[in-house]
Amino acid sequence: MTLLFRGLTWRSLGLIVCETTGIVGAVYAAAYIRLGAVQWTDHILRKAALIALVTQLCLYFADLYDFRVITDRRELFVRAVQALGATSLILAGLYFWLEKLMIGRGVFILAAVLVILFLFGWRLAFDWAVHRVGPRDRLLLVGTSESAVKLARELYERRDLGVEIVGFIDPDPAKLGSPVINPGVIGTIDDIPSIVRKYNVDEVVVSLSDARGKLPMDKLLDMKLDGVSFEHLASVYEKYTGKIAVENLRPSWLIFSPGFRKSHFLRVAKRGLDVAVSLAGLVLGAPLMVLVAAAVRFTSPGPVLYRQERVGLRGRTFRVVKFRSMRQDAEKGTGAVWATKGDTRVTPVGGFLRRSRLDELPQLWNVLRGDMSFVGPRPERPEFVSSLTKEIPFYGQRHSVRPGLTGWAQVRYTYGASLEDAMEKLQYDLFYIKNMSIALDLFIIANTVKTVVMRRGGQ
């Protein structure tokens, strides 16, 4: 399976492990060059490991482990230099307070030079290998429906996944050779066995919603019994993209697909994590919340806190608590409307609070009360839920779990305020509900910290 963990691929894991080894080796080489023969001891290894840890945290915050972000070598170099600059500042602060952590006088600067040379050279070599070494999974798509083309386009843009679309199959012989994206239609149903052998296809991907009434299922069954491997398009889409495509999705796939299991242990562990994180956040964040409250109170008339009806677990409503970021009469005369980019209703301080997510700190109280979970689908207003449930299939299923202060959709998709955005976020929400686990929650929390620190996505 290409995805080792949701959001983490085998290639990403290999990159992290190799870079850890390389950074530790660069530090040791710098120590050897600067100080002469250095005995490899646990003492030096711990100091080198600290440098590697801080460096990789900064690389993570610079999105250098997200292959969707890095598009060219110039951007790679700029982000690497920025990350290593941040590493230098953090380590300088640590060394100032804890001198025992220093590996040796003059070693750090030399190590920094070696690390950046190693990182840039290694990333170029890694990028070359990803594009030159044969892909691990070769897929043949049956049909040229919108959902099949969408899958192919997303996989084409994610070269790091190591997936190659061999081509498309269409039941109509007249479409043979016609372009789709890249490549095009390379055969008909009868050609599937020969194409599988010729191109060493790993999986033939079929959308059951498109197949009914259009594809000869008896022929596909014969091919299956003859050794051809078939997979449902919805399962492949989920496997590689981290979301569940709701277009043309049938309830039967949700019913018989593995996942969506919420054991008693998971419920108890998740609630325990919610209580621990919300209590820690309320205690540690109390001084910051006092400052935010003062800023809201003295920069615009109206209450400091804003309470609003939201839809929660099993469709029950509750009142979410936030720091007020809009003027007091924001919806007078308009009713409930989505926030938009450059929304004139947002106060100057409120704009900062939204971008930094500080306006959502009081929701830790909702988490502690049990209205919300720390991780889950974001709760929507009843007015929006009513219309979205009618417009978007399976939208009501997102209320099968507690809504969250943060979620998979929040860290994987930018802020949106439209029907199309709601559809896209639902696909991520369904993926989270299907694969919900403590490990996934911790992964989302780590990504949320990065999103907040880098001030992305808020409006």
Q: How far apart are CA 146 and CA 241, in angstroms?
A: 16
Query: CA 243, 248, 252 angle in degrees (round to 5)?
Result: 85
> Are the CB atoms for 241 and 154 separated by under 8 Å?
yes
The DSSP bridge pattern shows strands 404-406 and 3-5 to be: unpaired
Q: Which two tokens stand for residue 260?
A: 């969506």
Q: Which two tokens stand for residue 409?
A: 């959709």
pLDDT value, residue 293: 93
Please measure the distance between the N-terminal and C-terminal CA atoms of the chain and give it in whole angstroms. Answer: 37
Q: How far apart are CA 28 and CA 41, in angstroms?
A: 11
pLDDT value, residue 6: 47
Q: How far apart are CA 58 and CA 87, in angstroms?
A: 6
| Closest to 159 measured CA to CA, from 292, 9, 268, 341 | 9
Domains, the chain, with CATH or none: 3-132 (no CATH), 137-256 (3.40.50.720), 264-453 (no CATH)
Residue located via tokens 């207003």: 381
> Are the CB atoms for 405 and 361 separated by under 8 Å?
no
Half-sphere exposure of 303 (CA within 13 A, CB side): 8
Query: CA 429, 433, 439 angle in degrees (round to 5)?
Result: 105
pLDDT value, residue 157: 76
pLDDT value, residue 4: 42
Q: How far apart are CA 14 and CA 102, in angstroms?
A: 28
> Are the CB atoms for 88 and 51 separated by under 8 Å?
no
| Closest to 208 measured CA to CA, from 264, 268, 282, 148 | 148
Is the whole-model pTM more than 0.95? no
- Our separate counts of H helices and E strands in the chain read 18, 11
| Closest to 83 measured CA to CA, from 108, 54, 60, 58 | 58
pLDDT value, residue 310: 95
Q: How far apart are CA 426 and CA 245, in angstroms?
A: 9
Q: How far apart are CA 386 and CA 300, in angstroms?
A: 32
pLDDT value, residue 104: 67
Q: How far apart are CA 404 and CA 367, in angstroms?
A: 8
pLDDT, tens digit only, all 459 positions of the chain: 344 444 556 667 777 888 889 988 888 888 888 776 555 555 778 888 888 899 999 888 888 877 666 666 777 778 888 888 898 889 888 888 887 887 766 777 888 888 888 888 888 787 777 666 655 788 999 888 888 888 888 888 776 677 888 999 988 888 888 888 878 899 988 898 899 989 889 899 987 666 665 677 788 888 888 888 888 888 888 888 888 888 767 787 888 777 788 888 999 999 999 999 999 999 999 999 999 999 999 988 889 998 999 999 999 999 999 999 888 776 666 666 666 666 678 888 888 888 888 899 999 999 999 999 999 999 999 988 988 898 888 999 999 999 999 999 988 887 666 778 888 899 999 999 999 999 899 989 988 888 777 766 555
pLDDT value, residue 1: 38
